Amino acid sequence: MASGPVLGLRPAGADDAAHRPPLAVYLDPNAAWRQRAPHAAVAGTAALGHAPHTLSTRSLRHGMTAPVRGGRTRGHHWVLASLLLVLAGLSAWGVLARVPVYVVALHAPLALDPALQVVMAPVAGQVRVTHLQVGQEVEAGDVLVALDSTAQRLQLEEAQQHLGALEAHRTARRQEGAALEAAWQATAQAAQAAQAEAQSRHDDAVRALQGAQEKVQRLGPLSPLADLQAQKTAVETTHRSLQQLAYAQQVQAAEWGARLAQHQREVVVLEGDLVVAKARVAQHAAALEGTTLRAARAGRLGAVAALLPGTVVQAGAWLGILGPRGPFLIMVDVPPAGTGRHLRAGQPAWLHVPSASGRFAGTLPATVVQVAEAGPDVSIRVVLRLAPETLAQWPLQPLAVGTVVVAVAQQAPITQALRALAQALWDRPRTPPGPVLPANSP
């Protein structure tokens, strides 16, 4: 088959033939082969006895753009159908779906269940052994944390030695007091004997003087016995001796009384020191016992501090939460605004607990078990029940307030949208009407 151009063939629109590909490309399905040998295709058509068909530019353009317009129309139909399907789906979802309605109480005061107890370190020390594990069930008296007790043991031994020395001193002082009491009793008895003897001599002297005076009265003043000076001197001497003994006994009794009183005061001071020493021993014994933290009651451990052997803890540090083995209760004071009569028992709730920095530390699922009735201006007391597993998320810090969220109802989205729209329209602040001025009189 000959190749190359064919003379005498000039299709319509030959002026722009240099800018347009051969016609066989648009007429024959075998476009690739025609592009490689366009003149051969025209020559083949002439050899078959067919006259070459001349195409106008308008018909050519119509044939080229008709499939494009049909594709665009079909694309618009698909887009419209997709939009209708999306609108139908949204309408069905807005009518048939159910979206929960929540009541939220921000920074509501909390009253914790008394069954919740905080495991705190009573004394500062270094952790030696720890048995704190989240979710572990314990019995009353089980060891939770054991601290290093070397310093507490030494202090206790020192206090016990001091107490022993004071008790020995008290025993010696008591013996000394008994000896002083015995010596005073012996001295008093000896003084009483000397007093009795002096009194006896004085009585004898008085009786001798009285007998001599009776004889002088019988014999007369000129008798040899009329001189009574010796008897009078004896009476005065014995009387003076009796007075001296009495004075000496008083002085001696005062001295012994002062010694015994001083000894008694020293014993009282010693007893006070003993009381202080016993209290100190008890304090150090409690501190030694405090190095071993035990479970105060049976229950379940919740959130615990990350402790390792060798960790130093301060006195009063929160080490864990000990709660009941079953559910526990939390009481929340919810403001009456916005709650209405929506709150009731059995509704699901969530408690958002804050961290030390004020951010939310976690969300604890709960269930409303009781709603206390209150007036319109009084906070509503809501009792929440939390599962024991929530103790693992309980914060290790004092918790006084929290955010409570309660799912009070299930409504269709279209209902909520209409209510929100109505509230936005009706509750919108309106401009108060201006004052009406009286008409001017003619």
3-19: string of b/e by CB count within 10 Å (b at 16+)? eeeeeeeeeeeeeeeee
- Pairwise CA distance, residues 416 & 100, whole Å: 10
Spatial contact of 331 and 110, defined as CB atoms under 8 Å apart: yes
* Mean pLDDT, the chain cut into blocks of 10 residues (442 residues total): 40 44 42 45 45 50 52 70 81 72 82 86 87 90 90 91 93 90 89 87 85 76 64 86 88 90 91 93 88 90 88 88 89 71 84 66 85 70 88 78 83 72 64 39 36
Same domain for 168 and 217?
A: yes
Same domain for 20 and 62?
A: yes
Same domain for 88 and 155?
A: no
Same domain for 247 and 214?
A: yes
- Last residue in a domain, options 262, 289, 304: 262
In a domain, 311, yes or no: no
In a domain, 142, yes or no: no
Q: How confident is the model at residue 138, as a pLDDT?
A: 92
In a domain, 192, yes or no: yes
Same domain for 73 and 110?
A: no
Same domain for 172 and 254?
A: yes
Q: Is 157 helix (H, G, I), strand (E, B) or coil?
A: helix
In a domain, 227, yes or no: yes
In a domain, 388, yes or no: yes
Q: Domain limits at 212?
A: 150-262
Counts for the chain of helices (H) and strands (E), in that order: 7, 14
Spatial contact of 380 and 334, defined as CB atoms under 8 Å apart: yes
CATH number of the domain bearing residue 110 = 2.40.30.170
Question: Cβ of 308: how many Cβ atoms within 10 Å?
Answer: 7
In a domain, 189, yes or no: yes
Same domain for 248 and 159?
A: yes
Same domain for 229 and 160?
A: yes
- Pairwise CA distance, residues 116 & 135, whole Å: 14
- Pairwise CA distance, residues 326 & 341, whole Å: 30
Same domain for 220 and 255?
A: yes
In a domain, 442, yes or no: no
Same domain for 107 and 66?
A: no
Same domain for 236 and 336?
A: no
- Number of domains, the chain: 3
- Pairwise CA distance, residues 34 & 15, whole Å: 21
Q: How confident is the model at residue 13, as a pLDDT?
A: 43
In the chain the first and final C-alpha atoms are separated, in Å, by 115
Q: How confident is the model at residue 104, as a pLDDT?
A: 83
- What's the whole-model pTM score? 0.52
Same domain for 212 and 109?
A: no
Residues in contact with 320: Cβ distance below 8 Å, sequence separation at least 6, in sequence order: 118, 119, 132, 144, 301, 302, 303, 304, 305, 396
Both tokens of 98, joined, read 């159910």
DSSP 49: T
Q: How confident is the model at residue 222, as a pLDDT?
A: 58
In a domain, 306, yes or no: no
Q: Is 418 helix (H, G, I), strand (E, B) or coil?
A: helix
- Pairwise CA distance, residues 107 & 333, whole Å: 10
Torsion of CA 20, 24, 30, 36, to 10 degrees: -60
